[in-house]
Amino acid sequence: MTLGFFEEFQDPYLHSPEGQGVFLAGVCLGQLAFRQVQDNAKIEDSPLFKRINFGKMTMRDLQRHLSRVPELTRAYRVGNAATLEMIMTKAGALILQAGSKEMGVKGNFAFTIAFMNSFEYIKKMFKDANDDKEEKDVQES
């Protein structure tokens, strides 16, 4: 997993540990919510989506949701549970490192963007890692 895609953003919030942690939490929880819905159901039908207070979430709320990721990946038999848990642990570590008590407008905005675009950002996180691995393999040959 690589976080190089954060360099694309100009917002200083997304270059801080708090901003990156909140953003990664959005990616993780967005993926989990998508995995909760059946077939052609909408994300709005996800139990997790219904519990998130978009735009008004506090750091405490976010930590509560993140702490349930291991339980929910098992309950919903999520195929990429290890990937989601890897993202969750990185998000949690960054949030703890920042030590912020409130997310504020910037945090809620970053979370929502990451949540709703989680497929795009998860591809970037792991595409970059796969590209780096392939480049290293070529150099070693």
Per-residue pLDDT tens digits for 86-119: 999 999 999 999 998 899 999 999 999 999 999 9
Domain for residue 83, yes or no?
A: yes
Q: What is the rounded CA–CA span in Å between residue 71 and residue 77?
A: 10
As for how many domains the chain has, the answer is 1
Domain for residue 98, yes or no?
A: yes
The end-to-end CA distance of the chain, in Å, is 23
Range of the domain at 118: 18-140
Tell me the residue type at 23.
Answer: F
Domain for residue 92, yes or no?
A: yes
Q: What is the pTM of this model?
A: 0.88
Q: Is-contact 54 125, C-beta < 8 A?
A: no
Q: What is the rounded CA–CA span in Å between residue 79 and residue 94?
A: 25
pLDDT value at residue 137: 44
pLDDT value at residue 2: 93
Highest mean pLDDT among 12-16, 39-43, 72-76: 12-16
What are 68-88's pLDDT values in tens digits?
A: 999 999 999 988 899 999 999
pLDDT value at residue 39: 77
Domain for residue 13, yes or no?
A: no
What are 18-40's pLDDT values in tens digits?
A: 999 999 999 999 999 999 997 78
Q: Is-contact 6 14, C-beta < 8 A?
A: yes
pLDDT value at residue 128: 54
Domain for residue 108, yes or no?
A: yes
Domain for residue 126, yes or no?
A: yes
Encode burial over 114-136: b for 16+ CB neighbours within 10 A, e otherwise. bbeebeebbebbbeeeeeeeeee
Domain for residue 30, yes or no?
A: yes
